[in-house]
Chain A
Amino acid sequence: MRISIEEVEHVAQLAHLKFGQDEIAAMARELDAILEHVQKLQELDVEGVAPTTHAVPVICPLADDEPAASLPRQAVVANAPDTLDGLVRVPKFIDDSGAGLT
């Protein structure tokens, strides 16, 4: 196996995902098959090859620094699952002593 159960659990944590035990095992198998396939890239000599980060070589233009209206707050907050006084509300993440919960 190219990827262990422990690694899958670690990656899930990094990705903010949660899986049951069965799902973890299935995910490990599927990722393993894909990683096996992409291993093919190791055959190539890429020494000295520049990476492509942009599909079409263009210089990204800078926008003029002109103030413009953004979307009205009400319209943006309207999609939030939980709001209070025009703010987005989330579950607790700091305990009463001021320490972070997670």
Chain B
Amino acid sequence: MDIWQLGLASQVEHVRTKAVSAEDVASAYFERIEAVDDRIGSYLRLDREGAMAQARMVDEQVRAGRDPGPLAGACIALKDIFVTKGVETTCGSKILEGFVPPYESTVSERLKAAGAVILGKANMDEFAMGSSTEHSAYRICRNPWDLDRVPGGSSGGSAAAVAAGLCGVAMGTDTGGSIRQPAALCGVTGLRPTYGRVSRYGMIAFASSLDQGGPMGRSAEDCALVLEAIAGRDPADSTSLDEPVGRYQEACRTGFKGMCVGIPKEYFREGLDPQVEAAVRRGIETLAANGATIKEVSLPHTEYAIAAYYIISPAEASSNLARYDGVRYGYRARDASDLMDMYCRSRAEGFGSEVKRRIMLGTYVLSAGYYDAYYGRAQKVRTLIADDFRKAFEDCDVMVTPTSPVTAFKLGSRMSDPLQMYLADMYTISCNLAGLTGMSIPCGMDGQGLPIGMQVLAPALGEERLFRVAAGYQRLTDWHRRWPEVAQAQEAE
């Protein structure tokens, strides 16, 4: 078995015990990226120099007998939404082309402090707006399981990189499902932590009351290892939670015996692909057969989640994206007649169509005369959705649902209908609105060999519950260990 096929936890163990050098692990990944990523498009840019320097530093520490950190030599793909000092950061947008941040995000800072090696910046939908990565301003990203299909989004590059073995773990962000949905479509494990569990400092803002970064890996265990290193209070993010970081790796070993799993009936209705439903139901049976109690629960306001989300998130985005005006950084239109002309043309030329659509929608719902009818009402509906979960979690420890109603769809098939694209998030959005934590784990394949994801939800700061269920399930199944053909190709050569 090659080093890249081992899980992250095992790679770190190899580096820490000198069985293999961090430099060799990073080189192995760069070799694979060169051989495979032309066909996938998971990275927007690589930082070979920075990565190799960091890997050498880790190796020196190991040689000197010092502790190289809990993520020693862990090779990471960072969604291009995290700013990296001295390394271009675009958030998938032309408007940030050439932007070289003068500071580092807390997430990447903590990863590096723990000994991790950042291989490069992963492809994404522009400003994280999208469910297919087709809104990347730079390159198409393909699903490693079928190159004619999307990897999901917006953290599609991160998910594809993990699925194809082009990094150990990837970092994504999730505002309405952008970690869990691509994790499901690419057959990997993706965790959206509780809002505020991981610092948002240096994570380019989309919808500030919903955004949260988290790990995407080949197993729950790998995600736990990374979350322990990045979670916790950060003075630079006043919304980061001042709560003790959980023992996520230990939770992975605990298992789910005796836990009560709620099944929200509203998540198994029309719009759900029968093959996805069958796979998720088999997953639930596996949990039941191994010591979990299953209980039907109800979330009556489920059908209002998408509508509330597509008011709240564009409203917040329209405000956050006001900063891109061509003045201090990023793209500026040439030969403007005056300042206002420069603002409008820089934004019109720099933003892509989906971003403009959301800025327009957000500006509209916040504009005079419409605020109460749209934004004010959506925030109240958000309360009703959160109350549904509060009540349902009185009767269960976690909930299990499908992550996405369908498996990976064809490139281009939803681009002409924005609303259709938004419906891809129907099972993931409520988690963000209600302030929960959620994870997607692989639980099957459809008839075309495309991965199916199962979502596990827990109340705020219930990450340990998620790890107990996910890691316990992964000890009983092998869906998360499979590789797409494109990953095996190099091996065969």
CB contact under 8 A between A58 and B241, given known A17-B348, A27-B360, A90-B327: yes
Mark each residue of chain A from 2 to 31: 1 if its CB lies under 8 Å from any CB of chain B, else 0. Answer: 010001100110111111000000010011
Question: How many B residues touch the partner, as a band?
Answer: 35 or more
Mark each residue of chain B from 305 to 336: 1 if its CB lies under 8 Å from any CB of chain A, else 0. Answer: 01110110000001000100111111110001
Q: Which residues of chain B from 345 to 377 have a CB within 8 Å of any chain A CB? A: 345, 347-348, 351, 356-357, 359-361, 363-364, 367, 373-374, 376-377
Q: Which residue of B lies closest to A2 (CB)?
A: B364
Residues of B contacting A: mostly = helix
Q: Which residues of chain A from 31 to 66 have a CB within 8 Å of any chain B CB? A: 31, 33-35, 37-42, 44, 46, 49-56, 58, 60-61, 63
The CA-CA distance from A16 to B341 in the complex, in Å, is: 9
Q: Is A67 an interface residue, CB under 8 A from the partner? A: no
Q: Which of A42, A52, A58, A82 contacts B382 (CB 8 A)?
A: A52
Tell me if A3 and B377 are in contact (CB < 8 A). no
Residues of A within 8 A of B360 (CB): 8, 11-12, 15, 17, 27, 31
The CA-CA distance from A44 to B195 in the complex, in Å, is: 26
CB contact under 8 A between A93 and B339, given known A18-B345, A52-B379, A58-B241: yes
Tell me if A51 and B100 are in contact (CB < 8 A). no
Q: Is A98 an interface residue, CB under 8 A from the partner? A: no
Tell me if A49 and B384 are in contact (CB < 8 A). yes
Residues of A within 8 A of B338 (CB): 91-93, 101-102
Q: Which of B308, B367, B374, B380 contacts A49 (CB 8 A)?
A: B380
Q: Which residue of B lies closest to A64 (CB)?
A: B235
Tell me if A51 and B308 are in contact (CB < 8 A). no
CB contact under 8 A between A15 and B359, given known A40-B304, A91-B339: yes
Residues of B within 8 A of A88 (CB): 327-328
CB contact under 8 A between A27 and B238, given known A11-B367, A41-B377, A56-B460: no
Residues of A contacting B: mostly = loop
The CA-CA distance from A90 to B359 in the complex, in Å, is: 24
Tell me if B242 and A34 are in contact (CB < 8 A). no
Residues of A within 8 A of B64 (CB): none
Tell me if B343 and A16 are in contact (CB < 8 A). yes
Q: Is A79 an interface residue, CB under 8 A from the partner? A: yes
Tell me if B380 and A31 are in contact (CB < 8 A). no
Residues of A within 8 A of B217 (CB): none
Q: Is A99 an interface residue, CB under 8 A from the partner? A: no
The CA-CA distance from A80 to B196 in the complex, in Å, is: 31
Q: Which residue of A lies closest to B375 (CB)?
A: A51
Mark each residue of chain A from 67 to 102: 1 if its CB lies under 8 Å from any CB of chain B, else 0. Answer: 000011001101111100000101111000000011
**B99, B210, B331, B339 pick with most chain A CB within 10 angstroms:** B339
8 smallest A-B Cβ distances: which pairs? A51-B379, A102-B340, A55-B435, A93-B339, A55-B195, A79-B329, A81-B332, A75-B102
Additional A-B contact list (4), CB under 8 Å, known A37-B307, A49-B384, A55-B196:
A3-B364, A31-B360, A53-B209, A81-B327
Interface residues of A (CB under 8 A from B): 3, 7-8, 11-12, 14-19, 27, 30-31, 33-35, 37-42, 44, 46, 49-56, 58, 60-61, 63, 71-72, 75-76, 78-82, 88, 90-93, 101-102
